[in-house]
Chains A and B, each alone.
Chain A
């Protein structure tokens, strides 16, 4: 069964606006990672946040983690058309060190 659930499933915004995606998970984790996938392509690692961290920044990306609520958010500021992609959260942890993906949020940034 899937660990993570992203929401929304799809998001459409104008270039320059901010995009916020959320991810909820079920079990305890060591870390949570966000990935980007362009249509039909492989995954690109965006950012990793560890279970003892609450917020992390990388360029236009801001990730928060709330382990009490078992949730994370990814904020992309000043979005660009090139940010159009699917975004997945993936959690690391649990028995057997499984690495489980959510269903993803499909982001469309209109120029």
Chain B
């Protein structure tokens, strides 16, 4: 099956620093990638949708200047949490939509646990 690799799987950073999370589709081209955030014992909440070569579309309430998304190629999207604060600590998960099967299937990375201290 299709594989989506997310890196790092966990990261601890100091308050005020920026953290970059990568999401790669390893064996397919992803026209669209999605970024989600999950708080403990909660569901995944869609943060933004990124299409290759264009600006990301952010969900209401998500600060685009805080969560920078770059989808530079059909296999890579990055999420940068800028000037991180403890309240940004969360589990971030990406998913990628498989272009080759008509785009009706999407696959998920393993997630990144961010802890801001």
Residues of A within 8 A of B (CB): 2, 30-31, 33, 35, 40-43, 45, 48, 50, 88, 92, 96-104, 106
How far, in angstroms, from A12 to B57 measured CA to CA in the complex? Answer: 39
Q: Is the CB of B93 within 8 A of A40?
A: no
A88 neighbours in B (Cβ, 8 Å): 43-44
Q: Is the CB of A42 within 8 A of B111?
A: yes
A42 neighbours in B (Cβ, 8 Å): 6, 93, 108-111
Q: Is the CB of B106 within 8 A of A99?
A: yes
Give a binary string over B46-77; 1 marks a CB under 8 Å from any A CB, 0 the rest.
10010000000100000000000000000000
Q: Is the CB of B111 within 8 A of A43?
A: yes
Instruction: Provide a sorted-by-A list of 25 A–B residue pairs whose CB atoms are within 8 angstroms.
Output: A30-B104, A41-B111, A42-B93, A42-B109, A42-B111, A43-B44, A43-B108, A43-B110, A45-B1, A45-B107, A48-B105, A50-B104, A88-B44, A92-B105, A96-B49, A96-B57, A98-B34, A98-B46, A99-B34, A99-B46, A99-B97, A100-B46, A101-B36, A102-B43, A106-B41
CB < 8 Å: which of B32, B34, B91 contacts A40?
Answer: B91
State whether the Cβ of B85 lies closer than 8 Å to any Cβ in chain A: no
Shortest Cβ gap from A4 to chain B (Å): 9
Q: Is the CB of B104 within 8 A of A31?
A: yes
A30 neighbours in B (Cβ, 8 Å): 104
Which A-B residue pairs are the 6 nearest by beta carbons? Answer: A42-B110, A42-B111, A43-B108, A101-B44, A103-B43, A30-B104
Please judge, given known A-B contacts A42-B93, A43-B93, A43-B111, whether A92 and B49 are in contact too, CB under 8 Å: no
Shortest Cβ gap from B60 to chain A (Å): 10
